[in-house]
Every structure is written in C-alpha cells, then in structure tokens.
Amino acid sequence: MKTSRGRFFEDYAVGEVIAHAVPRTLSGGERALYHALYPARGALCSSDEFARRCGLPAAPMDDLIAFHTVFGKTVPDISLNAVANLGYAEGRWLKPVWPGDTLRSESQVIGLRENSNGRSGVVWVRTRGLDQRDEVVLEYVRWVMVRKRDAAAPAPQTVVPDLAPSVAPSDLVLPEGLDFTRYDFALAGERHRLGDYALGERIDHVDGVTVEEAEHMLATRLWQNTAKVHFDATMREDGRRLIYGGHVISLARALSFNGLANAQMIVALNAGVHANPCFAGDTVRAWSEVLDRAETPAPGVGAIRLRLVAVKQAAAPFGLKDAGGKYLPEVLLDLDYWALMPL
Amino acid sequence: MKTSRGRFFEDYAVGEVIAHAVPRTLSGGERALYHALYPARGALCSSDEFARRCGLPAAPMDDLIAFHTVFGKTVPDISLNAVANLGYAEGRWLKPVWPGDTLRSESQVIGLRENSNGRSGVVWVRTRGLDQRDEVVLEYVRWVMVRKRDAAAPAPQTVVPDLAPSVAPSDLVLPEGLDFTRYDFALAGERHRLGDYALGERIDHVDGVTVEEAEHMLATRLWQNTAKVHFDATMREDGRRLIYGGHVISLARALSFNGLANAQMIVALNAGVHANPCFAGDTVRAWSEVLDRAETPAPGVGAIRLRLVAVKQAAAPFGLKDAGGKYLPEVLLDLDYWALMPL
Amino acid sequence: MKTSRGRFFEDYAVGEVIAHAVPRTLSGGERALYHALYPARGALCSSDEFARRCGLPAAPMDDLIAFHTVFGKTVPDISLNAVANLGYAEGRWLKPVWPGDTLRSESQVIGLRENSNGRSGVVWVRTRGLDQRDEVVLEYVRWVMVRKRDAAAPAPQTVVPDLAPSVAPSDLVLPEGLDFTRYDFALAGERHRLGDYALGERIDHVDGVTVEEAEHMLATRLWQNTAKVHFDATMREDGRRLIYGGHVISLARALSFNGLANAQMIVALNAGVHANPCFAGDTVRAWSEVLDRAETPAPGVGAIRLRLVAVKQAAAPFGLKDAGGKYLPEVLLDLDYWALMPL
C-alpha cells in the first residue's frame, strides 16, 4: 500500500528518533500570511527597523511561525491517529528564524503508557526543529493519546518521562545581540515595563475575533499540518471541522498585544492544555495572568512568565476551572510561557 | 489598567502630534496577499519588467497597500471609538513604497468640533506615513465622529480646518523617473489613453465580487487595523461584522481595471465618503466618472481625476444620490482621486 | 465603450496570436499562499535545501503556480464567454519558474469549429507562458466552447488541430541540473521509487478537503483569473459560485502527496477534463492510476504518467465513468500528466 494512514500506539518505541518529512523554506510570504491570519502586532517581528534598534539584524519570523512549522511536520508521524493532544512541556526557542531559513523536524519518543482500556495509549515525544545549518531552533515535549491499531497488541513497558514543571529562567536562551536599552516604547505601542507587572496580575485583553472556516484551514495548511479533522467536514458526525489547537494559541497570543505589547518574543513554553475544542463561528477572547518575572543577561531585557487563557463567547471574567478543578466549557486554551520584555 | 480602550473625544487637543505604534516592514508577501484579496491587475504594480519600462527600478507596492498600512496604524489612536468615518481630503502619495520598506504613521490633530448633542464630536487629523528614512510616503486628512467618554466634559474650542476641495494638478507628486513614452498598451490590457477619456464620461466596470467574512478579515488584519466591529460578530446586535471601508475602496479600485486599466497609480485622494455599510454576502460593483484631466511634467504621463463609486447588489446604472441629495442605499463608496495615465 | 466584455466565437481567426495582458512578477508571497490554499507538500518545491540536493539552485515555484499564472492571463481573451472548458493537450513545462521571475502569456488560435446549433463554437488555442528573458516556461493547448455574439454571423472554415494523445517521454523537458542520485526519501516523505509503481496500479489518496468560498476566490484572484462566475454569486440562478477548474487541479494534485510524495514535478499535461462543476461545501478527494513509466537522461530521474481523478463527497472507490462512458456525477476532474520521480 502506497499511502500512509499514520502510526498507531503500538508503532512507537521509547528511544526511537523519527525524522519528519518535508523541510520548508520560509519567506516574507509566510510572515505576511501570519499577519493576515492573526492580529499580531508585536513590533519586533513586524519591523526590521525596530528589530535593528533592539540589536537584531532584521525582524525575525514570529516565534509561533517557527513553532507551527516544526509542529506541522510531526503530525503525519505523531498525531494523525491521536484522540487528544494532552500537553506540552520544556519548550524552548533557541535561535530566531529568519526569512530564507529552511526548517525540518525530528522527534524522539521519550515515554509510552498504555491506557487501562487497552485501546489507546499516551506517547511522549521530544521534538526538535532544525535549520539548514542543522542547528536546533526550537525544542519541546508533547504528549498525545493515540489509538491502537489492534487492541490485542501487547502493552509496551510503561515509561513516563520526568518533565520540569516549567523552564527555569536560567535555562532561557536569548537571541544573540538582543538589547532593549534603546527600546522605543511609543513605537511598540505601550509604556509598561517588566517592573510594571505584578505577580498575580490579571489582564483582560478586551478584543475578540469570530473565527471562519477558511481562516483556520489556510493557517493549518500553511504549516503543512495534515490532520484530517481540520479540513474534512465529513470526519465528524456533527459535520464540524475541529480547529487546530495551534490556531487558538496564535489567536490568543496576538489578542494579548492589548496589555502585553512589550512581551516581544516567546522564549519558552512551560505547559499548555487545549481545554475544549474550538469551531468556526466561535468568538475567541483572551486573558493573561502574570506568573513570574526574571532578569536575563541581555542588556535591558527581562523575562515575564505568563498564563495565557483563550475563551470563547460570553465567558465570565478570568474564569478558568470549576470547583472540581475541571476547565469551564468556554475555556479553549491554558498556556504557560516565558516572553522577553524590557526592564 | 494595562489595556487600552482607545481615545475619546475629550482626549484630543488641536496641534497635538500622535506617533502611532507598530512600524511594519512590507515584502512580496503583502503584495501577493493584496492580489489574492482584490482583483488588482494594474500592470505597473504587477510586473517588475513593466515598471522598468516605465522608468521605475521595479514594481512598487500597490498605492493602496501603502494607504491601508498607514491607515491601520492610526486606528487604535483615532477611530477605535469612532461612530463614523466622515471624510478624507488633501491626500497625496509622495513616494512609491517598495518591498523591504518599513512604514510608520503619525497624525496631527488639526480640528475639533463637539456635536450639539454633547455626546460626541468630530476630530480632524492630518496623517503622515513615513518610511525607514523618515521620508513621508503618503499624507491625508481624515475626519471621524468620536464618542465622548463623559458627556459632562467641557467642549473644546471649535476649530474647523480649511481643506482644499481637491488636490490641484500642480501639487501632484510623481514617482521619480516615471516615463510613459515607451508604455506597452497591449501588456497593460487596454488601448485607451488620457485623451480618450472625456470629462463627464461614465464607465460601468461590469464585474462584481460577492464578499466573504474571511476575506475582509484577512485584509483588515493584514493592515493591522484593530477596530473591533470588523472582527467580532458579537459587537453588533444583528451579529454582523462591519467591513472595513478601505476594503471596499480596494475592491472598487481593482474592479475599475475593466475600463481604466491604464489609470496606473493613485497619486491623490481628493475626497471620500463611505456612504453605506458593507457586509459579507454583498456583491460589490463599481462605476467611475471622469472629473478632470491634467498634464504632468513627466514624459508621456498625464493625470486623470476620477469619481469611483462602489455599489452593492442590483444598483441602478450610475445611481448615486436621491432627489434630496442623500446617497442611495445601495451606494457604498464615493471616492474622488487622481491617477496617472499615459497621454 | 471603454470596458471589455470579452471575445465571442466570431472574434477568433485561425493563426492569430493574442498577447495577453498584465505580466506578473512572482515572489515568496505567491509560494506561501499556494501552500496556504492547497495541502502541497512536495519537498522539492517546499525546501531550498532539498532542491539543492537535487541539483537545482533553489526550490522552484510549484509547477501549477506557473500554470495558473499563465492560464489566468488568457481568461479575459479566451474564456470570458466560454460555456465550457473542454480539454487540454500537449502541455509541457520547459523551464522552472523562480521567485523574481515575471511571466506573461500569449496564445495562438489553432482551431475553430462552429457548433451545429449556430450559437457557439469550439476554439483551440496553443498558449505559451514566457518569462522576462522571453523564454517559454510552459506551453499547452486548450479548447473551449465559446458563445457567438450574433447567431447570424457566418461560420468560419472548420479547422480541427491534430493533437497528440499524450506527450512522448522523449519530448519531456527536464530542469537543467536535475539529479536524483542523492535524493533523500525520508525527507521527501515516502520510500517509493518509480520501480515500485506498477502499470495500472491505483492509489486512493485518503485525505479530503471541504472547500470554502473564500479559499477558491483567493486562489483564483491570485492568478488574476477574472471569470465572473467564480466571484459573483448573482451570475447563476442558483446563487452559487462555480469553482475555477484549476483550483480542483491543485487540490487534487496536493492531496495526491499521500501515496505519490516522490512525484516531484509536473513536466507534461497530456489531457484533462473538468467532468463536473465543483462548489463550495464540496469535500474533494483524489485517486490516481499509473498509466506509464519512462526513463529520462537526467541522473536518477524517471518519469511517471498518472491519471489524477478528483471526486467529491461519497464517491465509490476508483469510480470514473458509467456503463455508457459518461463521467459519474461525483467525478470533478480527470487529468493525465507526467511527473518526475526518483528511479
């Protein structure tokens, strides 16, 4: 058989390294599409001039372009038969990506645990995105629940990786040359520095976007993500297409500009949960909570750790979980990340 | 509070200069998206070779890409709380914009007049778009009706700027090097020269485009225009998203290719009215009227002053206003501009 | 009258060469949009590094970008008043197209035959796409049924061109320098070589895409194809917009990656029929049949001749025609082409 229907749970072995197919050269085209698909306005990724004033040679591609490109390549090998995308950990952006760079991905299987029902299991992978110099630009751990092809297949030995609850500030890697001492707050859009954000402070990002089918499919296809449920309306009984979770991440991150305009680059992904599915017609909003602050060795550059929550429709202000610890039905995303911000 | 909800009428003072946030570097990506979003076919902005034959180093970005980019940056400071976008005047394109250029915007408040109801007022601004060399690429006056935050706030002194009814031909600025003496009419798509257009001549541009939600949102987002009503279906009681007026301008201008293929570059915006709102599902058509003709100092280059009218659905031919001088309900746009055309 | 309503049957004369308007410079923007519009994943057109390993200076534009760009320019002169797009033959890609290239099109009328009803006729044209060096990058024959303006106009002398049933392998033109001896099958996504495909083998490409109005209009506009039926929902009595046949070609070709990941470049179009119309809401799937295999003079490079069939909704596996030889109603496209594949 010439076609692939993707891997099933019993096709993974701890330690195996999977080289994912179809490397991709990025250009100003992907950047323009990113700005058409999401209301992204961070000045550092929007303007070559702003980036130069911050010590970079030009505006890097938005950090989430790198993430989606690397992630998309893993889908045919990791999540084509996934029942659920369960979590992220230990994500770090190690090098900015520039127009002209070519990215490819590889994943190492670092954990396996069959579910008690014997019909599926959890697969943990550590994915790396590499550029044309074979340098790692991004790495993260993801775990997904994957169906078994054959329920009778024997369960593998359970290996659950020991994952850090968050990336330590000392492990953050900053773009070479980054310097915020001449940062232009007026051009960036807000005057708030790292010191202006209090631990525990919560920010309602005000704006909302009602999502269309064409938009999320254009985005998901651009990242060469091939999961059928995003494109084929006949896949679900209700005739709806499930929106790629990364689309919600980018929407929420872009919406967080209003209140976090100076959280310029994502440098670490500590954790992430896609709490409920998102469908076309949903109006996505976002709020953030300040989880931590840290200094960095780069001049004028601090780091802010944020919880970014995406919700839909008429969510209660800052609502997240019910009394039983379960995500509220209107919560789409609960993401924990580090970004860089002027001190 | 970290987020901005935009300025209200009492936040403006005549003479104040507002530096708008988020500079933007444009590339071939924005050009390609412009051609995907609008049926734009003007040869000068489509082909490097055609542009070189006309004395330019390469194809400039479509003049309306410059306009939308500059305009979009002003929205958070000028029109986030606008009730209506009332008009444009004294618009001039001063330099072509090329891929790689970085644009930013600033606006000076040049007029204020509180409405008699005490709940809103009119704000006039002169907006300038600047490139990475701090040279002005575009300037125009716009006035909008803005809500007051507090109806009890005192009215400012009324200042109504004295605006030219149209840009004089002698004030038009032409791209350096422009020369139409070797203009290729066959490649441009039509044989009509400036002298072939009679004053008062009206042209029905024949084609129509039915607009989709995803299209106008992609466009509006690309220009980093953040006005909520364009994106959030929950903002209006009827659940409809209002289409950015500039989207209708670009649609109508692109549709006018059929009959005005040689009106190659917009060099001045004399006036403009968004007569009625446009919504997804509307089929937009356009007609033009020749208002004036002029010579220019550039070899073979003339200027044509045009009224461009966008209408929707089954509009009567060349319908514009009713007996009382009110725009007909199917009229979306009444724009008055100067373009360049071979003599 | 300044506007064009397109040519009618009596406006064509055998031997006439029509220079089509609006040359177009392509960039990374068109490439990114192509990847957002279609699930295209062929490694050679996705990655500069992969292309270099195959002997090319960088990743060429997808062959169908060249096709659509060249085709789009012909629409205002050839098919604006077409009743049907009847077929293709003798199509050959003669040079890869790179970002920065400027394409224009010209067509020679090579056949005419009035229909017996006297109200329309068939027009055959040989279209050539030329780059900025006036070198032909692509050529193909297309025939369309075009309405007469005046049923009383005399019928032209019937000339039916003698067309090859398919392009002979010895007539295939390969990109200069192409070399598959270092081809990376893992990065390409599948391990199947030319020798792994048997004549008559059929491949169900598994995936499906439900098409949205915004998507096909963005695509069709990007190729500057102006046929009204694709954009204007008021053109048909049923209020539906007919999807550009080329959109279905690109969708089906991209879907065929799963099973034909190594069919890297299209080098010839032997034949093609748009069997039934496609509308938004249709879920497009594809299957292929191996028609022929051939060697080429380039190192490690073979050629595979494929039938590519696009179907919609719940089509029976590999269904094509009924007992009477008529295409089944769910068949959208029946395309016959040569692609290059590692030996």
Please, are residues A293 and A197 in contact by the beta-carbon 8 Å criterion?
yes
Q: Which of A3, A132, A218 sits opposite C49 (nearest CB)?
A: A132
Look at residue C138 in the predicted model and tell me its pLDDT: 98
Is the minimum CB–CB distance between B215 and chain C shorter than 8 Å? yes
Amino acid identity, position A214: A
For residue B40, count other CB atoms closer than 10 A to its CB: 23
Look at residue A4 in the predicted model and tell me its pLDDT: 85
Stretch A71-81: mean pLDDT, rounded? 93
The rounded mean pLDDT for chain A is 96
CA–CA min distance B195, chain C (Å): 13
Residue of C nearest to B185 (CA): C21
C199-258 residue pLDDT tens: 999 999 999 999 999 999 999 999 999 888 999 999 899 999 999 999 999 999 999 999
Query: Is the per-residue pLDDT at C315 higher than 80?
Result: no
Residue of A nearest to B100 (CA): A48
Tell me A122's DSSP state.
Answer: E
- Residue A293: phi, psi to the nearest 5? -140, 150
CA–CA min distance B77, chain A (Å): 10
CA–CA min distance B4, chain A (Å): 7
**Lowest mean pLDDT segment, chosen from A48-57, A315-324, B186-195:** A315-324
Amino acid identity, position C86: L
Is the minimum CB–CB distance between B72 and chain A shorter than 8 Å? no
SS (HEC) of chain C: CCCCCCCCHHHCCCCCEEECCCCEECCHHHHHHHHHHCCCCCHHHHCHHHHHHCCCCCCCCCHHHHHHHHHHHHHHHHCCCEEEEEEEEEEEECCCCCCCCEEEEEEEEEEEEECCCCCEEEEEEEEEEECCCCCEEEEEEEEEEEECCCCCCCCCCCECCCCCCCCCHHHCCCCCCCCCCCCCHHHHCCCCCHHHCCCCCEEECCCCEECCHHHHHHHHHHCCCCCHHHCCCCCCCCCCCCCCHHHHHHHHHHHCHHHHCCCCEEEEEEEEEECCCCCCCCEEEEEEEEEEEEECCCCCEEEEEEEEEEEECCCCCCCCECCCCCECCCEEEEEEEEEEEEC
Look at residue C200 in the predicted model and tell me its pLDDT: 98
Stretch C118-132: mean pLDDT, rounded? 97
Is the minimum CB–CB distance between B43 and chain C shorter than 8 Å? yes
Question: Which chain A residues are closer than 8 Å to B232 by Cβ?
Answer: 207-210, 283
Is the minimum CB–CB distance between A25 and chain C shorter than 8 Å? yes
Q: What does the angle CA B241 – CA B243 – CA B244 come to, to the nearest 5 degrees?
A: 130
Under an 8 A CB cutoff, do C214 and B210 touch?
no
Spatial CA neighbour of C222 closest among C60, C9, C37: C37
Q: What does the angle CA C57 – CA C58 – CA C61 come to, to the nearest 5 degrees?
A: 125
Query: Is the per-residue pLDDT at A104 higher than 90?
Result: yes
CA–CA min distance A52, chain B (Å): 11
| Strand A120-130, strand A102-114: pairing | antiparallel
Look at residue C80 in the predicted model and tell me its pLDDT: 87
Under an 8 A CB cutoff, do A28 and C31 touch?
no
> Which chains form contacts with chain B, at 3 or more CB pairs under 8 Å?
A, C
Contacts 24+ apart (CB under 8 A), B320-329: B327/B273, B327/B275, B327/B276, B329/B276
Please, are residues C7 and C155 in contact by the beta-carbon 8 Å criterion?
no
A254-313 residue pLDDT tens: 999 999 999 999 999 999 999 999 999 999 999 999 999 999 999 999 999 999 999 998
Please, are residues A107 and A74 in contact by the beta-carbon 8 Å criterion?
yes
Tell me A254's DSSP state.
Answer: H
CA–CA min distance A80, chain C (Å): 11
Query: SS3 helix, strand, coil % of chain B, rounded to 5?
Result: 20, 30, 45
Query: Is the per-residue pLDDT at A238 higher than 80?
Result: yes
Under an 8 A CB cutoff, do A313 and B234 touch?
yes
Amino acid identity, position C202: R
Q: Could you tell me the pTM of the whole model?
A: 0.97
Under an 8 A CB cutoff, do B187 and C3 touch?
no
| Rounded CA separation A127/A103 (Å) | 13
List Cβ neighbours of C315 (8 Å cut-off, separation of 6 or more). C285, C328, C330, C331
Residue of B nearest to A184 (CA): B21
| Rounded CA separation C34/B321 (Å) | 42
Look at residue A219 in the predicted model and tell me its pLDDT: 97
pLDDT tens, N- to C-terminus, chain B (343 residues):
899 888 999 999 999 999 999 999 999 999 999 999 999 999 999 999 999 999 999 999 999 999 999 999 999 999 888 888 899 999 999 999 999 999 999 999 999 999 999 999 999 999 999 999 999 999 999 999 999 999 999 999 999 999 999 999 999 999 999 999 999 999 999 999 999 999 999 999 999 999 999 999 999 999 999 888 999 999 899 999 999 999 999 999 999 999 999 999 999 999 999 999 999 999 999 999 999 999 999 999 999 999 999 999 877 889 999 999 999 999 999 999 999 999 9
CB pairs under 8 A between A and B: 137
Is the minimum CB–CB distance between A30 and chain C shorter than 8 Å? yes
Is the minimum CB–CB distance between C208 and chain A shorter than 8 Å? yes
Please, are residues C68 and C218 in contact by the beta-carbon 8 Å criterion?
no
- Rounded to a whole number of angstroms, the distance between the first and last alpha carbons of chain C is 58
Under an 8 A CB cutoff, do C102 and B49 touch?
yes
CA B18 to chain centre: 20
Is the minimum CB–CB distance between C33 and chain B shorter than 8 Å? yes
Look at residue A213 in the predicted model and tell me its pLDDT: 97
Amino acid identity, position B84: A
| Rounded CA separation C92/C138 (Å) | 6
**Lowest mean pLDDT segment, chosen from A76-85, B21-30, C31-40, C272-281:** A76-85
Please, are residues C315 and C333 in contact by the beta-carbon 8 Å criterion?
no
Question: Strand runs (DSSP E) across chain A, as ranges?
Answer: 17-19, 24-25, 82-93, 102-114, 120-130, 136-147, 202-204, 209-210, 265-274, 283-295, 301-312, 331-342
Q: Say what the ipTM of the complex is.
A: 0.96
> Which chains form contacts with chain A, at 3 or more CB pairs under 8 Å?
B, C
- Residue A320: phi, psi to the nearest 5? -140, -60
Query: Is the per-residue pLDDT at A1 higher than 90?
Result: no
List, as one string, the DSSP characters of B5-72: ----GGG--TT-EEE-S--EE--HHHHHHHHHHS----HHHH-HHHHHHTT-SSPPPPHHHHHHHHHH
Please, are residues A64 and A116 in contact by the beta-carbon 8 Å criterion?
no
